[in-house]
Amino acid sequence: MTRCTVSGQAAVEPEDASVPNAAKRSDGQFVDHWVLCETERAKGFVRPVRDGYVHVGAPGAKFPLRELTPEEHERYDRFGYVKFEAYPDGAGMFWTQDRLDKIGKGCGTRTLMPQAIAETYARKPDYYGSTFCCGCGKYLPVGSYGEFVWDGTAERVGT
Ligand SMILES: [Zn+2]
């Protein structure tokens, strides 16, 4: 899929780079970002076009967390796993302390984005793996386990 840039300028970096131009502004944000090209965005949105998100921190577990069994400790301590989230279907997920510590620990800042990026999210919600927080001055993950919700909603950015 061809990628375009927010600026409309030709990319400095190769098409497979995470950003079209590795130069950064004084606030830590890259000077330019990839977007879906206008013709691709014009094919229709699968989500509302929203231009602002809030850094709320990572979501907590959906299901109860339990302690690890002695056998799990033996096998998984080296990965840093400290809890297990047991899904009703028998599957589940291990949690590290680092991930537990990030639950709900966003800075609360609302960040606005250019229209082309807002439309890219609306056309292809999982297009980006991370996004910039103006409060923290850095890029942080989006998606189901990401740290952002769309302004005024509980909906995670990137889902
Ligand atoms: Zn932040």
Q: What is the pLDDT of residues 24-36, one digit of tens each?
A: 999 999 999 999 9
Which parts of 1-144 fold into alpha helices (H)?
A: 38-41, 70-76, 97-101, 115-123
Which helix or strand (DSSP H or E) is residue 55 part of?
strand 52-55
Residues bordering ligand 1, an ion, CB closer than 5 Å:
55, 107, 109, 133, 135-136
Q: What is the pLDDT of residue 1?
A: 64
Classify the C-alpha dihedral 68-74-75-77 as positive or negative: positive
Q: Which pTM value belongs to this model?
A: 0.86
- Listed by start position, the domains of the chain span 3-58+104-150, 65-101
Ligand 1 centroid, distance to 54 Cα (angstroms): 8
Q: Which of 59, 60, 85 has its CA nearest to residue 157?
A: 59
